[in-house]
Structure 1
Amino acid sequence: MRSNRPVEFPDDFWIPIPLDTDNVTSLSPYLVPQDHLGSPGIFYSLSAFMFFLFVTGTGINTLTIACTAQYKKLRSHLNYILVNLAVANLLVSSVGSFTCFYCFAFKYMVLGPLGCKIEGFTATVGGMVSLWSLAVIAFERWLVICKPLGNFVFRPNHAVGCCALTWVFALAAAVPPLVGWSRYIPEGMQCSCGPDWYTVNNKFNNESYVMFLFGFCFAIPFSTIVFCYSQLLFTLKSAAKAQAESASTQKAEREVTRMVVVMVLGFLVCWMPYASFALWVVNNRGQPFDLRLATIPSCLSKASTVYNPVIYILLNKQFCSCLKKMLGMSSSDDDESSAASSATEVSKVGPA
C-alpha cells in the first residue's frame, strides 16, 4: 500500500508525493500535470468553473464601475464603498480567476513561479480589500444609523479615506510573502496559488504569518461586523417603535440593512472555510489531509466576485435602476425617481 508524506521545496513549492517516488521533481506543479491529485474531469470541471467566474465576475463588476461613473446619483458615500468592493472583485476575477482557468486546463501551474506569485498576490490583495470593505460598510451603517458620534455626518471624503485604508491593510497582508515572511506557493490541486499555510518552515515563519492573517485580516474585521450589526439591530428595533408613522424611512433602512446583512453572510461563506482550514492545518501539524479539499476555500473566495455584486445590485434600487437604464432594459423615469426618492430616505433613522 502506497502512503504519502509531505516534501518541501524551500524556495518554490510543496507537494505530497508517494514514498516510493525517487525523482520528486517529476511531480513539480510548475513542470508537469498533477494527475496524481485527481482525474482529468476534475481539473477540466474546475477550469470551466473558473472560466465562468472570470467572464461573469469581470463583466458584472465592470458594469458596476461604469454605471457609477455614468450616473452622478450613485456617487454617495455608501456606493463609494460598494464600488471599492467592485474594483477588488474585478482584480480577482480578471487576474486570479483567469489564471486558475488557464492552469486548470493544463492541470498544473503552467505559468511558473512568477505567475504563481502574481496570482497569489493579486488574489490576496483583492480578497483583503473585499473583506475590509465589508467591515467598512458595517462601520458606516453603525455611524449613520446608530449615531454614536452624535451629529457627525459620514461624507463621501470619509468613504474615500476608508476605501484607501482597505488597500493599505490589503497590501500589509499581501506584500510580506513577497519579501520573505511566508511565501506564495501552489495550493489545493496545485493550479492556484496562495500564502503558504501548509508547511512548518523556520526560514519563512509560516505559522506566525498565518496567525497574523487570522487575527488582523479575519478576526478584527469579523468582530467589527458583528459589533456594528448587533448595535444596528437594536437601534432599528427601537426606531421601529419611535417612528412607526414614517413607513418610507423604515422601508428604505430595511432594504439597505438587508443588503449588507446578506453580504456579511457572503463574507462568512467566502472566508470562514479558508480561515478554518488554515488554522486546522497550523494546529494539527503532521496530520494527513487531502490537498483537494484545499481547493474548496480558494474556489469559494473567488466565487465572491460574482455573488457579492449580484447581492448589492439586486438589493440596491439605485444601482438596479441605473444599470437597467444603461443597458437599455428600462425606459421608465418613474422607477428611477422612486429609487432616488427612496434612497434619500436612507440613513435618517436614529435613536429617538
Structure 2
Amino acid sequence: MITMNLTLAGTVDYQVPFWLRIVIIIYISLVTSSGIVMNGIVITAFWKNKKLRTPVNYLILNLCVSNLLSATASASLIIPINTIGEQFFGNKGCMMYVLVCGIFGVTNLCTIVVLSIAHFIVICKSKRFTLSRRHVIAGIVFVWIWSSLWNGVLVGSGGYGTDTIQSVCGIVWNSVDKNIVQYTLYMTCCFVLPLSILTYCYGSIIYEIRQRTKVSSFSSTSRAALPEAAKMVFVIMVAFLICWCPYGCVALLRMIRPSHKIPIFVESALSFFAKSSYVTSPIIYVAMNSQMKQSVLKVFRLPSSRRNRSSISTKATHLTVEKCGDGMRT
C-alpha cells in the first residue's frame, strides 16, 4: 500500500494511506470551492442590491465574509499539504494558519450567536426595542475582537500542531495539562457560552412563535409569516449543531480526559466535516429568504419562478384572446 509521511517539528511521523489523502483532497476541494462560490454570490448580491442592506442582513454579510475567508484559508493549506505530502509551512506557518482559521471560525460561530440575539430581540422584544445599524456594527466589531483575543491567547501559549493524521494544522486538545487555564477559558468563551446563548435565543423564539399562533387576534398574513420564520430558525440551529457540535464535543472530551483513547481518524474526520458549514449557511439564507433569492437571481440574470409564472399566464391570456378573436371573425 502506498503511504505518505508527514512531519512537523514536535510531532511523530505517521504513515498515512495514499487513498486517504486523495479522499481528503477531493472533499476539501469540493467544500471550499462551493463555500467560496456560494458566499461570494451572497456578498455580490449585497453589494449590488441596496435594499438588502438592513441591520440584520449586515450580520448575514459578516457571516458570509468569515465563511469565505475561512474556506480560502483552508483550501490554501490543506490541499497543498495533502498533495505534496509534507508540512512545508514550518512551525510559524502552522501557527499562523491555526490563528487565522481560529479567528474566522470563532467569528463565524459568534456571528451566528449575534444573529440569534438579533432575531430574539426583533421577534420577542420588537415592541420595546428597535435594532439599528449602529447596534449591528457594534456587535460585528465585538465579535472580531472577541475572536481575535481568545485565539491569540491560545495560539500564543503554544496550543497548536498537526492533527492526529497530520493532514492539517489545528489546536492540540490533548496538551491541556501545559495550559489548563487558557484551554478552559477558550472552550468556555468560544464554545460552551455561545452554544448556551444560541440554544436560549432560538428556544425563546420558537416558544414565542407558538404563543403567537395561538392568539386569534392575529391576521392571516401574520399567521402565514410566522411558520416561515420558525422554519428558518429551526434550520439555522440544526445546521449549526450538525456541523460543529460533534467536533466540539470530541475536543471537549480530549481536553477534560487527555488519556481517553479516541479512534485516530475520528477527530480529523469531524474537523473536516465541520468545514461543511462554509456551504450550509449561504444556502439556508438564499433558499429561505425570498428577497435574497430574488436578488441573487437578478444579479446573475436568471429567470425567477414568479417571472416564469407571469410570462406563462400572459402567454395564455394572449392565446385566449386570439382564439376568441378568430371565433368572432368566423
Q: If the TM-score is normalised by the length of the shorter chain, which range does it land in?
A: 0.7 to 0.9
Deviation of the 1:313 alpha carbon: 1.2
* Equivalence map 1:330-349=2 (5 Å): 330=303
Q: Write the deviation string for residues 253-285 of structure 1: whole angstroms up to 9, x where unpaired.
A: 332332232121122122212221122222323
Partner of residue 317, structure 1: 290
Identity among equivalent positions (%) equals 23
Tell whether 2:122 aligns with 1:144: yes
Question: Aligned with 2:187: secondary structure?
Answer: helix
Partner of residue 214, structure 1: 187
Deviation of the 1:89 alpha carbon: 0.2
Partner of residue 11, structure 2: 14
Measure, in 2, the Cα distance between the counterparts of 1:309 and 1:332.
Answer: 20
Give RMSD over aligned pairs: 2.2
Which of residues 154, 159, 164 in structure 2 aligns to 1:183?
159
Question: Quick one: structure 1 residues 251 and 168, their matched pair in 2 at CA, closer, same or farther if it must change by over 3 Å?
Answer: farther
Tell whether 2:203 aligns with 1:230: yes
Letter in 2 for 1:169: W
Measure, in 2, the Cα distance between the counterparts of 1:251 and 1:331.
Answer: 22
Asked if the contact 1:88/1:129 (under 8 Å) is kept, the reply is yes
* Equivalence map 1:182-201=2 (5 Å): 182-201=158-177
Q: Which runs of 5+ in 2 are unaligned?
A: 1-7, 309-330
Deviation of the 1:102 alpha carbon: 1.6
Question: Quick one: structure 1 residues 103 and 247, their matched pair in 2 at CA, closer, same or farther if it must change by over 3 Å?
Answer: farther
Partner of residue 39, structure 1: 17
Tell whether 2:252 aligns with 1:252: no
TM-score scaled to structure 2, two decimals?
A: 0.84
Question: Quick one: structure 1 residues 137 and 253, their matched pair in 2 at CA, closer, same or farther if it must change by over 3 Å?
Answer: farther
Asked if the contact 1:100/1:191 (under 8 Å) is kept, the reply is yes
Asked if the contact 1:57/1:306 (under 8 Å) is kept, the reply is yes
Query: How many residues were matched structurally?
Result: 301
Partner of residue 349, structure 1: none
Measure, in 2, the Cα distance between the counterparts of 1:287 and 1:219.
Answer: 21
Measure, in 2, the Cα distance between the counterparts of 1:13 and 1:144.
Answer: 50
Which of residues 83, 91, 108 in structure 2 aligns to 1:113?
91
Q: Write the deviation string for residues 69-114 of structure 1: whole angstroms up to 9, x where unpaired.
A: 1101111122111111001101110112331122122233232223
Deviation of the 1:252 alpha carbon: 2.9
Question: Aligned with 2:87: secondary structure?
Answer: coil
Q: Write the deviation string for residues 292-340 of structure 1: whole angstroms up to 9, x where unpaired.
A: 22212211221110111111111111111110111111268869xxxxx
Q: Which runs of 5+ in 1 are unaligned?
A: 1-8, 16-26, 28-33, 336-352
Which of residues 40, 62, 72 in structure 2 aligns to 1:94?
72
Letter in 2 for 1:64: V
Asked if the contact 1:137/1:260 (under 8 Å) is kept, the reply is no
Letter in 2 for 1:91: L
Measure, in 2, the Cα distance between the counterparts of 1:280 and 1:183.
Answer: 16
Partner of residue 156, structure 1: 133
Partner of residue 302, structure 1: 275
Measure, in 2, the Cα distance between the counterparts of 1:162 and 1:256.
Answer: 22
Question: Quick one: structure 1 residues 288 and 222, their matched pair in 2 at CA, closer, same or farther if it must change by over 3 Å?
Answer: closer
Q: Write the deviation string for residues 204-247 of structure 1: whole angstroms up to 9, x where unpaired.
A: x1x33332222111111111111112221221112112256523
Measure, in 2, the Cα distance between the counterparts of 1:176 and 1:88.
Answer: 20
